[in-house]
Structure 1
Amino acid sequence: MTASITPRVLIIMPAWNESEVIGDTIRSVNQVVPYSILVVDDGSKDDTAAVAREAGAEVITLPFNLGVGGAMRTGFKYALRHGYNTVIQVDSDGQHDPLDIDRVLAGLQQADISIGARFAGRGSYSVRGPRKWAMSVLARVISGVARVKLTDVTSGFRAANEKAIRQYIEHFPTEYLGDTIDSLIVAVKSGCRVVQVPVEMKVRQAGTPSTSPLKSTIYLGRSGLVLAFALARRRIKQDPRAVSVHEQETDRLGGAQG
């Protein structure tokens, strides 16, 4: 983001079966920042879309569950089509503090992607066991690729400027952990600069956390594979004219909008 370009910000909330909490999340964000909110309802089986609309958000409903990567790619395309040059991903479960949104966006003054980092000196959020080991290894390796110290490369609390948005539309992965690890490496290899901003993580406001000792062990193995495949990618030459290669796909998936 440069001083000559006025940021037009879109908050993207990917959501899957979050009807219990998404309304409160949207209202709490609206109380703090004036930005537009787009909820990408990722094939939910509950009333996520209806609750989000009632709370004041724009909603795109996908016909089936694509995962965070697919939902975010839809959101990026929506952003460019509607004239937004800055986006920030915010969790729909209430874990991201709305007070940190502008802090993360401010990171774009010196980079193309700004990560809200949980392990950078603010808050008391912590992880243990295999999950902690995996996160530590991932952070060290990706810091080397990005040539900047990063402590939380799996954080979904991220902002992107127009350069990064266009790159994401072309290359944003949809596989397991692709939306965090793989997308970051691909962005760096596409010439995007990355910075992190310390943030606090709130306790999940509703629903059941997805972590357990078994899942953490699986996470360790899968994250290693994802990292290996991501590092094997070649550096990507971005075509500035390629704004929306997958427009027909977006039309199909995002048809149930509003």
Structure 2
Amino acid sequence: MCSRVRAGFTLNIIDTPGLVEGLFVNDHALDTIRRSLLNKTIDVMIYVDRLDGYRVDNLDRQVVRAIARSFGPQIWKIAVLGLTHAQLSPPDGISYSDFVERRSNALIEMIQKEVVFKKGDPQIPIALIENSGRCSTNSGGEKVLPDGSVWLPKLVEHIVDIATGSAEPIVIDKKLIDGPNPNKRGRVFVPLIFLFQYLFIMKPMVYLMKRDMESEVRRRPSWEVLAGQKEESPSAVEPVQTEEY
């Protein structure tokens, strides 16, 4: 982590390792990142991909879902999409701006689909990034992209907009790292389960049993019913008096 202070504003930047190892998401790296951020607050996440990628594949989707699982889906509401290798020359017949738009739209659409953005959620901002020594510079030494824009101030602008905006930052606490308590999970549903069992299982069962018993009594001959009632009633015992002689 590196920090810079300017005009009373402190910027902490945490550079994380790559999240892909081979053709799979590195869950261990994600867990290590999360634990190293304990008791810290994430105001902005810069999700970095390459501008010169030509398609969005299943591995990209897995990475987006893994980040949402580890830090909560809300982290994508404070994200900036950073596209590196921005000093590229687009294929013949495609302008630089059109190529940037196609690539960024494909990634944004994938992220919004995987994380399920709502209709009113703000669009994820795009920041082009190029740190190569081959990148052109202006008279002030700032790196200039093929479209003539200076990329670093634009990236900082997006960071400030999100950090000072209405989106809630992500606080990394023990609950986020360890997950919910499995002993408490589902307790709130226990009374509802008992109520369901009583209304839809026990009560109908008792009703059916009573109905079957009444139906059985109605089907028995009257003499059998009377005999059964007589057996259930106590026998009358006449007192016997004896005389002594």
Scaled to the shorter chain, the TM-score interval is: under 0.3
Larger Rg over CA atoms:
2
**TM-score, normalised by the number of residues in structure 2:** 0.27
Comparing both chains, which one has the higher relative contact order based on Cα–Cα distances under 8 Å and sequence gaps of 6 or more?
A: 1
**TM-score, normalised by the number of residues in structure 1:** 0.26
